[in-house]
Amino acid sequence: MSQADIYRYATMAAVFIVIFGLRARRMSQLRPLKLERLWIVPAIYLVIAVINIFFRPPAFAFTPPTASAWLALAIALVVGAAIGWQRGRMMQIHVDPETHALNQKGSPLAILFLLAIIAVKMIAQGEGRALGFDVALVTDAAFAFGLGLFTMTRVEMYLRAKRMLEEARGGRMA
């Protein structure tokens, strides 16, 4: 490992620590949870993933993926969805018994998931080149993983919050 690589990894670690510190502090506070807005992050990420996977060189249109590449993307999406479901379960959701207002409180473990994903992606891209990995496929798989993660996190939170809200209202929906 060269000195430049060590410097790059040390810089990434410092950035991770700062981001985690800022996010952990913010996550310890209750924030309003709007069920009607949970679809926004997955939708934005879907657009970013589609642009990245299909429209950046070498785009799928110009270099069609192999069957193994499609399989890798599907596996990344499914694994991301499974981890996203668990990440969603880690999010604390509170219903005010009087106003029925929903609030959420993040889990520090949830942000660790995200930091681990970024670290694995960066290491795979950096060291993967030396090992002969297809860096474009690694990047595309990371986007598929993230799409599954962000989508299923919100789906789990939506379903649980909806159920909790219904229970708080005495089993009837307004």
Largest CA distance in the chain: 63
- Identify any residues that bridge with 103 across adjacent strands, giving them in sequence order: 32, 94
Distance CA 155, CA 149 (A): 10
Q: Supply the pLDDT for residue 34.
A: 92
List per-residue pLDDT tens for the chain, 174 residues long: 678 878 877 887 788 788 777 777 777 778 899 999 999 989 998 998 888 777 766 655 566 678 888 899 899 999 999 999 998 998 889 999 888 899 998 776 666 666 676 776 666 666 666 666 676 777 788 888 889 998 999 999 999 999 999 998 886 554
Residue 88 CB neighbour total at 10 angstroms: 24
Q: Supply the pLDDT for residue 126.
A: 66
Answer whether 124's CB lies under 8 Å from 137's CB. Answer: no
Residue 119 is encoded by which pair of tokens?
A: 């670290």
Answer whether 128's CB lies under 8 Å from 138's CB. Answer: yes
Q: Note if the pTM is more than 0.95.
A: no
Comparing CA positions, the residue from 106, 103, 105 lying closest to residue 32 is 103
